[in-house]
Chains A and B, each alone.
Chain A
Amino acid sequence: MESENEFEERLRSLIPARSSADPIAAAFEAGSRSARRRTRIWQMTSLAAALLAGIQLLHPAEFSHVRLPLVQPAQTAAISLTDESELPMARAVLDHGIDALPSPQAMTIRKSDPTNSL
């Protein structure tokens, strides 16, 4: 009885039926498919642009006003020294020197409209 390898070799000696696969025809087909794909992309882009232009022509009002989102100015914290706080502070400084001033954290911080503080 022959070995496994010999049997495998005998099987291998059978030649599979020829194939007519043609690399040149395949290359040509691949090239034309790629060209078709590119043409299709251009066609779709042109169609989309034409549609957009058509809509704009039919409904010009829709496109005349472009609404931009309103940007709200950021609210800033401003220190406001009112008359009530300013006068006693000035007196305290006159009487006891600069040490009489309160620490910055202790001062009242009031959020206010930045346009008012300008």
Chain B
Amino acid sequence: MSELSRAAELAAANAAGMKLYARQWLDDAAAEDAVQEALVSLLSLKKCPEDPVAWMYVAVRNRAIDQARSGQRRKRREQNAARSEWFEASAENSLDAEEVQRALRRLPREVREIVVLRVWGGLGYAMIARIAQISVGTAHQRFEEAMKELRRNLFV
């Protein structure tokens, strides 16, 4: 198995988090496409990136932003993105998935993406800063503020 194939397997294992990340800009189907396209791009590389998961998040972000910018379809996508589910429904969770989704949607997108990368992407602040093209300090500050805001909105 080549290094790139292993990287693709690793990226695919993290695909749910990447799709959730893409959902910050796109609807379900478009987010799915963005992740799959990023995977194709990863496998088209001549050399395997140092951190394939981080590379994939950057690729997904670029695709999601490009697609979201494509004029007329934007509004429809945002409406669809609001409707469809971001999380798997589970009775075991102490937090209601729908409520969390609503609370997340109330956050500004540039803050929300930090939360998704940190909580569901499991990435460190340095990597988040690189992906979102902000400083590490800003990433940390945004996350802290978002957590406070989420707790307020979820009454936790």
Question: What per-residue 1/0 map shows which CB atoms of A1-32 lie under 8 Å from chain B?
Answer: 11010011011111111111111011101100
B9 within 8 A of partner (CB)? yes
Question: Is the beta-carbon distance between A8 and B16 smaller than 8 angstroms?
Answer: no
Instruction: Enumerate 6 A-B pairs (CB-CB under 8 Å) in ascending A order.
Output: A12-B119, A13-B95, A19-B19, A19-B32, A21-B11, A22-B36
A33 within 8 A of partner (CB)? yes
Shortest CB–CB separation between residue A67 and chain B, in angstroms? 43
A17 to B35 CA separation, bound complex (whole angstroms): 13
Q: Interface size (B, Cβ < 8 Å)?
A: 41
Question: Is the beta-carbon distance between A17 and B20 smaller than 8 angstroms?
Answer: yes
Question: Is the beta-carbon distance between A21 and B119 smaller than 8 angstroms?
Answer: no
Write out the residue numbers on chain A whose beta carbons fall within 8 Å of the beta carbon of B86: 16-17
A6 to B15 CA separation, bound complex (whole angstroms): 25
Among the listed A13, A15, A29, which residue makes an inter-chain contact with B16, where contact means beta carbons less than 8 Å apart?
A: A15
Among the listed A2, A13, A19, A29, which residue makes an inter-chain contact with B18, where contact means beta carbons less than 8 Å apart?
A: A19
Given contacts A26-B8, A33-B40, contact A16 B147 (CB under 8 A): no
A1 to B155 CA separation, bound complex (whole angstroms): 10
Write out the residue numbers on chain B whose beta carbons fall within 8 Å of the beta carbon of A8: 118-119, 147
Among the listed B15, B90, B144, which residue makes an inter-chain contact with A19, where contact means beta carbons less than 8 Å apart?
A: B15
Using a Cβ cutoff of 8 Å, how many contacts connect chains A and B? 102
Write out the residue numbers on chain A whose beta carbons fall within 8 Å of the beta carbon of B94: 10, 13
A15 to B5 CA separation, bound complex (whole angstroms): 25
A113 to B19 CA separation, bound complex (whole angstroms): 81
Write out the residue numbers on chain B whose beta carbons fall within 8 Å of the beta carbon of A30: 40-41, 43-44
A65 to B150 CA separation, bound complex (whole angstroms): 80
Given contacts A17-B16, A17-B19, A18-B88, contact A23 B9 (CB under 8 A): yes
B113 within 8 A of partner (CB)? no
Residue from A12, A15, A17, A34 whose CB has the most chain B CB atoms within 10 Å: A17
Question: Is the beta-carbon distance between B5 and A23 smaller than 8 angstroms?
Answer: yes
Residue of A nearest to B21 (CB): A16
Given contacts A10-B95, A27-B8, contact A21 B88 (CB under 8 A): no
Residue of B nearest to A6 (CB): B156
B58 within 8 A of partner (CB)? no
